[in-house]
Amino acid sequence: MDKNGVLLPEHIAIIMDGNGRWAKKRGLDRTEGHKVGAEVFRKICQYGSDIGIKYMTFYAFSTENWKRSAFEVGKIMDLFRKYLEEMEEREQENEEAGYNIHFIGSREGMPPDIAELMDVVEARSGEKNKVHINIAVNYGGRDEIIHAARQLAEKVRTGELSAEDITEDVFSGNLYTAGQPDPDLIIRPSGEERLSNFLIWQSAYAEFYFSDVLWPDFTKEDLDKAIEEYSRRNRRFGGV
């Protein structure tokens, strides 16, 4: 609960959608939309952290996004590289801001220098930090479930686990989000109303909030609106 009596979600997940359309509307190249989208990502991280959101997950690049032109993929990778370099340089500031950065998704197929920077930034984000930022890169929900199933199968093969030991909690503990609470609120701007393979296991009881705003236009006020709407809903988790 915040000071105005609004029920704050512990974990908010956001699908950053609409960058291409935003740019097209302005006669710009799609990649200009991603550039502004990356700035909005930074602002929303900061604002979410200021108002007391403990976990935020951002969908930045899906396993399907490799199908885009090499030019567009390259520009998105450049934005990740720039962000990671900044994070590395501003280690002290991040520590003060209390960010614990974690990447969810597969490192396989990522440009090696970016994968290495991801490891460095992640390793430096201590558990002591209070705001957990997950960035989904080369992420797919089905891919994540397969990855967890393979890990569990291997544990059964080596005798570390028996098949009966595999409960929902054990399964969750083998996902990229192991140890984190499931998202309470999933936000998708840009007018699309689907999950697109995002957190498909973790979203079982999430509230969904859709808006027509394109991600580069998304503001603090839009986040406030989503949280207010969430706060008004009565969550019953299947009970009465």
Question: Which of 9, 12, 14, 17 forms a contact with ligand FPP (CB under 6 A)?
Answer: 17
Q: Sheet holding 55-62: strands in order across?
A: 99-104, 131-139, 55-62, 11-15, 185-188, 207-210
Nearer to ligand FPP, 121 or 148 (CB): 121
> Residue 80, interface with ligand FPP (CB under 6 A)?
yes
Nearer to ligand FPP, 152 or 183 (CB): 183
What type of residue is 52? G
Residues in CB range of 228: below 8 A, 6 or more apart: 6
Question: Which of 9, 13, 18, 187 forms a contact with ligand FPP (CB under 6 A)?
Answer: 18
Catalytic member of 2, 4, 17, 19: 17
Q: Please report how many Cα atoms fall inside a 13 Å half-sphere around the Cα of residue 21, on the Cβ side.
A: 12
Subset of 177-236 contacting ligand FPP (CB under 6 A): none
Q: Is residue 17 annotated as a catalytic residue, yes or no?
A: yes
> Residue 48, interface with ligand FPP (CB under 6 A)?
no
Nearest partner of 134 among 76, 210, 78, 198, judged by Cα: 198
> Residue 79, interface with ligand FPP (CB under 6 A)?
yes
> Residue 38, interface with ligand FPP (CB under 6 A)?
yes
Nearer to ligand FPP, 80 or 198 (CB): 80
Catalytic member of 29, 65, 129, 217: 65
Task: Give residues in contact with ligand FPP (CB under 6 A).
Answer: 16-21, 34, 37-38, 41, 60-61, 65, 76, 79-80, 83, 135
Catalytic residue ranges = 17, 65
